[in-house]
Structure 1
Amino acid sequence: MLVETSLETETPQVLPVSVAAVIVNYGTAELVVQCLDSLQETRNECDHLQVYVVDNASSDNSVEEIQAAISERGWSEWVELMCAPSNGGFAFGNNVGIRRALAGDDPSMGAVWLLNSDTIVRRGALESLLQALETHPQAGIVGSRLEDRDGTSQRSAFRFQTIGREWARGLNLGLWFKLFPGAEVAPVQVDQEYETDWLAGASMLIRREVIDDTGLLDEGYFLYYEEVDYCLRAARQDWRTVYVPTSRVVHLVGQSSGVTSRDADHRRLPKYWYESRARFFTQNYGKMSRILADISWLTGHLLYRGRCLLQRKSITFPRCLVRDFVRFNFWWPSRVG
C-alpha cells in the first residue's frame, strides 16, 4: 500500500450526501454539548445530518444533562441520544450508533462520521470530507486536520506500526529518522490531500460501502488502536484512507479520556492501552510478530533512556512505563483474543 501519496483528482461520482454522525460519551456531557453546538452550522453542508450521541453507561448525570441541552436548544430534530447498556469501550459505543444509523429509514445515508466528544467542528469541515469522497472514489475513509484552538496543527495522519517502526519509536533518535524517513509512525504532515495508512479517529468519515465490506469496529479494543485496526482492515478490502487538511476540527487532546492529554505526560498508562496494542499486533500480524515488536520497542526505549542519562536530558515518561510494558506484554496475559 502506498503511503503519503498525493492523489490525482478524478471525475467526481454522484454520492449520497446524507450523513450520520456518531459521538460516544462517557462522563463528558459538557464536551458533548459543545461539540453539538459546533455542528449546528455543519448541518447546511449536506442534505441531512443526523447525530447519534451514545452514552456508554456514564456514572454521572451525563444523560440528563445532554438530554436537557437537546430539548432546551431545539436539537431533537437532528440529535438522538442513546443509552448503551454498559460501558463496553469506545468501539462498542460507536458500533451502537453505527447500527442505529444503518437501521434508519434514510436510503441516501452515504457515510458515517465518527467524532470524539472533545472536538469542535470548524465551518466547512464536513463539506471538505464529502468532497474528498466524491473526488476520489477509491477513498473509503477520510479524516480531518485536527488542531488546537489557536489553529496549531496536530498529527492526524500516521503509518502502520511494524516491528521496525516500533524499534524506531522506542529509540526516538532524530538521525535514525533522517536516514530512514519511512520509519516514523507519525511523520510531518503536508498541507494537501494525500493517502496515508491510518487517521486519528477523532474526526473520521467512513463511506457506507466500507462498512458493508469491512464490518463494524472491533469491540475487542476497549480504547485505542480501534481506528488503526479499522483502517488496516479497510485497506485489505482495497479501500484507501485519505487525509484532508481543508477539513479542520479542533481537538481538545485527551479531554475525553485523560490518557493522551498534554498535561498527562507523567500519568500511568492504563492496562487497556497495553491490551489494545497487543491485540492490534496479534490480530493483524500474529503472536510472534507481536513478541518481536515488543522486544524491538523495549530495546530501543532502554537505549533512549540511557542516551538521556548520558546527555543529562530531563525527559518525563509515563509512570511505571517500562515495568508495566514488561508486565502486561510478557508476564500478564493480555486480552487479545
Structure 2
Amino acid sequence: MPAEILLKSNTRLLIVTVNYRTSHLVIECLRSLEPEVRAIPGIQVAIVDNHSGDGSVEKIGAAITAEGWEDWVTLMPSTVNGGFAYGNNYAVRPALQATHPPDYFLLLNPDTQIRPGAIKELLNFMDQHPNVGIAGSSFEEADGKPWPYAFRFPSFISEFESGIRLGLITKLLSRWKVPQTMAPDREQPIDWIPGASMMVRREVFESVGLMDEGYFLYYEETDFCLQAKRAGWSCWYVPQSRIMHILGQSTGVTATNQKPRRLPQYWFDSRRRYFLKNHGWLYAALVDISWLAGFSLWRARRVLQRKPDDDPPQLLEDSIRNSVFLKREIPSQQLLEPHNG
C-alpha cells in the first residue's frame, strides 16, 4: 500500500524520523520536540518505521496515544527495511504530492534530542536566506560535549589523507580533509551536512528529486547535497540550532562507545556507488588506489611503531574486495531483512 500522510493546510515544516529498532529513542526525541511544536505553528512530524519487527510500531503508537501527540505526529509503518533514503522518501513523497505541501522538511534521526530553539533557528535561517537549499544543526554528544563538524565532499586526495593518518600529510592536505571543524558562533557554507538533522527546502526536492534509494545506508546525504549543489542550491551549517546526537544507535557502525565492528557490505556498496555515479570509473579507480596506498602505509607504520589497532576488522581485505577493480557495477539498494539492518 502507498504511504499516506494527512497534512494540515497550515503545515510549514514536516519533520521526518526513520526508526529501525530504536523505539525508546524515538519516544524521547518526540518528547524533546513537543515544546518546539507547541511553540511554533505549522509543524507536523512523521515517524517512519523501517519494518523493525520488534514491536516498535506498537510501542511508538502507544506513546503517541498516551502523550496526546495525535494532533501532530503521524506513524507510518513500512513493510520493508529499505534504508535511510527509502525511509525518508516514504514520508517526503506523499507530502510533496499533498494539496498543501510543506515549505520545508527536516530529516531528523531518532537518536537525537532537540535543544530549546533549535527548530526555530533553522526555520528563521531558511526564511531569511531564500537561496539556501539545505541547512543543518550543530551537534553535541549525550554528555554535552560539542561535536562541531560538517563535511567536504570526498575526493581521491581526501581518501589518501584518511588512509595514511600522518600528521604532516594531514596538515598539507587540510583543504581536502572531509571532516571540517566549524566555528561555534557563525553560520557557514559547507559541502554537506549529516542527515541526522538536515532541513531541506521543498524546491530542492522539486528540482533534484528525492534522495537516491540506491543507497541503503551512508553516502546518501552526501550524494543529495552534491545533487543540490549542482542544481544551484547551497548548503549551510547553522550552529545556533543545537541538537544532541548519539552516534550509530541503529547500526553500531559509527558508535563511539564500543569496539569498532567490521564494516557492513552496504557501507562499501554505498561508497562505491557514490564515486561511480558522480565521478565515473576512472576517478573511482583513482579513489581506490589513493585509499589503499594510504591505508597500507598506515598499517605498516602501525606495526613498526607498535600502535594499537583501532580499525574495523578486515578493513584492508574488504576494501580490496569492494574496489572498482573487482566490482565495476554501480550497486543498487538491496532490501535487508531486519536482523541485517
Query: TM-score scaled by structure 2?
Result: 0.90
Identity %, equivalent residues? 45
Of residues 71, 76, 90 in structure 2, which corresponds to 1:77?
71
What secondary structure does 1:312 align onto?
Answer: coil
Of residues 187, 207, 210 in structure 2, which corresponds to 1:216?
210
Residue 29 (structure 2) aligns with: 35
Of residues 123, 126, 131 in structure 2, which corresponds to 1:130?
123
- Opposite residue 174 of structure 1, the aligned amino acid is G
- Opposite residue 35 of structure 1, the aligned amino acid is C
Q: Distance in 2 between matches of 1:106 and 1:128?
A: 23
Q: Quickly say closer, same or farther: Cα 1:45–1:158, change in 2 above 3 A.
A: farther
Residue 101 (structure 1) aligns with: 95
- Opposite residue 293 of structure 1, the aligned amino acid is V
Residue 199 (structure 1) aligns with: 193
Q: Distance in 1 between matches of 2:111 and 2:187?
A: 24
Residue 243 (structure 1) aligns with: 237
Deviation by residue 1:201-253 (Cα, 9 ceiling, x = unmatched): 10000011111111100000000110000000000011000000110000011
Q: CA deviation at 1:335?
A: 4.9
Residue 111 (structure 2) aligns with: 118
Residue 83 (structure 2) aligns with: 89
Q: CA deviation at 1:17?
A: 7.4
Q: CA deviation at 1:327?
A: 1.2
- Opposite residue 326 of structure 2, the aligned amino acid is W
Deviation by residue 1:175-197 (Cα, 9 ceiling, x = unmatched): 12222320211022212210000
Q: Distance in 2 between matches of 1:321 and 1:177?
A: 21
Q: 2:331 matched to 1:336?
A: yes
Residue 7 (structure 2) aligns with: none
- Opposite residue 133 of structure 2, the aligned amino acid is G
Q: CA deviation at 1:323?
A: 0.9
Q: Distance in 2 between matches of 1:156 and 1:112?
A: 22
Residue 164 (structure 2) aligns with: 171
Q: Quickly say closer, same or farther: Cα 1:264–1:284, change in 2 above 3 A.
A: farther
- Say if 2:20 and 2:50, in contact at 8 Å, map to a contact too: yes
- Opposite residue 227 of structure 2, the aligned amino acid is R
Q: Quickly say closer, same or farther: Cα 1:32–1:63, change in 2 above 3 A.
A: same
Of residues 277, 280, 283 in structure 2, which corresponds to 1:286?
280
Query: TM-score scaled by structure 1?
Result: 0.91
Q: CA deviation at 1:303?
A: 0.8
- Say if 2:51 and 2:79, in contact at 8 Å, map to a contact too: yes
Residue 66 (structure 1) aligns with: 60
What secondary structure does 1:198 align onto?
Answer: coil
- Opposite residue 117 of structure 1, the aligned amino acid is P
Residue 335 (structure 2) aligns with: none
Q: CA deviation at 1:155?
A: 4.6
- Say if 2:189 and 2:235, in contact at 8 Å, map to a contact too: yes
Runs of 4+ in 1 over 4 A off after TM superposition: 332-335
Residue 189 (structure 1) aligns with: 182
What secondary structure does 1:81 align onto?
Answer: strand
Q: Distance in 1 between matches of 2:257 and 2:294?
A: 25
Q: Quickly say closer, same or farther: Cα 1:297–1:100, change in 2 above 3 A.
A: same
Q: Distance in 2 between matches of 1:306 and 1:195?
A: 38
Q: Which aligned pairs between 1:299-318 and structure 2 lie closer than 5 A?
A: 299-318=293-312
- Say if 1:38 and 1:122, in contact at 8 Å, map to a contact too: yes
What secondary structure does 1:40 align onto?
Answer: helix
Residue 3 (structure 2) aligns with: none
Deviation by residue 1:121-144 (Cα, 9 ceiling, x = unmatched): 111111111121122222110000
Aligned length: 321
Q: CA deviation at 1:45?
A: 4.9
What secondary structure does 2:16 align onto?
Answer: strand
The CA RMSD measured in Å over matched residues stands at: 1.6
Unaligned runs of 5+ in 2: 1-9, 333-341
Q: CA deviation at 1:150?
A: 2.7
Q: Distance in 2 between matches of 1:208 and 1:156?
A: 25
